[in-house]
Amino acid sequence: MTFSVDFLSKSWLCSTDDLDKSDMVLVGIPYDGTCSFKPGTRFGPEAARVASIGLESYSPYQDKDLEDSAFYDAGELDLPFGNRDKVLDIIYTCAKETLSMDKKFVGVGGEHLVTYPVLKAYLEKYPDIAVIHFDAHADLREDYLDESLSHATVMRRITDHIGADSFKQVGIRSGTKEEFAWIRKNNTLLTSLDEAKEVVQKFKNRPIFLSIDLDVLDPSIMSGTGTQEAGGLNFKEFIEWLKAFSSLNFVGADIVELSPAYDTSGVSTVTAAKVIREVLLMMS
């Protein structure tokens, strides 16, 4: 039995339902269990998918079309909220399996902690991976509320593995005195596009993971996130930064911290979907 009329897709704009033929796998990771302020990012992946249908498939910024890419929308992971360790294990497994299929993993959060298990899987395949981190917050605490593993410590944990030398940040404007001391000591924060060029030069022969906390954008356009922090990038600046890195060899990425409950106007969700489109196009 079948229908002769057409139905709209329930999946991401221009995604394929043929996993075998896809180069990238888009995975929703609806977890916000360690969020300490305003929770709600668990609804981010679904909201971004729904908003994607209102986007054009073509990007004038990159002169590329999503119709020419091949990515699979896996949907959202089914996660047991109350059990952080099990959640991290499921995410790890999903990333691991994606890599074993020789595909790129593109995660959509959820809180920033979800980057940790993904990078754990990447490190096993790419021991020399470097990370580019867009965020308003340093996420570099040694521990937070008595926990060594949370959204506020995730990038510190990751640099424990890859070294501060393989780690560059864009947009950081909030943190503790200690975090900013660490940033200055390790010179991880980029503040101009010229510095981005140097990074491209330095990282050009290495696999790169791109981790974008959407609150790197100014809350004027990204109110829909748990910790709104004034003074961020506007969208044009964000695109300039992204394009500055576009020649790098991105092997994976995630886009995290969309929290639809705080997006009263709908702008954040539409913009998050557009960011995901640009990341997908850059990685195609």
- Considering only residues 80 to 99 of the shown chain, the ones binding a second copy according to CB under 8 A are 80-84, 86, 90, 93-94, 97
Nearest to 51 by CA among 260, 223, 234: 260
Q: Which of 77, 154, 212, 280 binds a second copy (CB under 8 A)?
A: 77
The CA distance from 145 to 245, in Å, is: 35
Q: Which of 163, 171, 168 is nearest to 136 (CA)?
A: 171
Say whether residue 3 binds a second copy (CB under 8 A).
Answer: yes
Find out whether the peptide bond into 110 is cis, omega within 30 degrees of 0.
Answer: yes
Among 126-134, 192-200, 232-240, 247-255, the segment contacting a second copy (CB under 8 A):
232-240
Q: Which of residues 130-169 bind a second copy (CB under 8 A)?
A: 144-147, 150
For 220, half-sphere exposure in the C-beta direction (CA atoms, 13 angstrom radius) is 7
Residue 220 interacting with a second copy (CB under 8 A): yes
Check residue 70 for interaction with a second copy (CB under 8 A): no
Q: Does 124 bind a second copy (CB under 8 A)?
A: no
Q: Which two tokens stand for residue 172?
A: 């950081």
Among 8, 85, 185, 192, contact with a second copy (rule: CB under 8 A)? 8
| C-alpha torsion angle, residues 97, 248, 129, 279 (rounded to 10) | -40
Residue span binding a second copy (CB under 8 A) among the ranges 122-130, 174-182, 194-202, 247-255 = 174-182
Interface residue with a second copy among 16, 62, 186, 223 (CB under 8 A) is 223
Q: Which is nearer to a second copy, 247 or 265 (CB)?
A: 265
CA distance 72 to 167: 28
Considering the complex, state which of residue 87 and residue 162 has its C-beta at the smaller distance from a second copy. Answer: 87
Question: CA-to-CA distance for 41 and 68, rounded, in angstroms?
Answer: 30
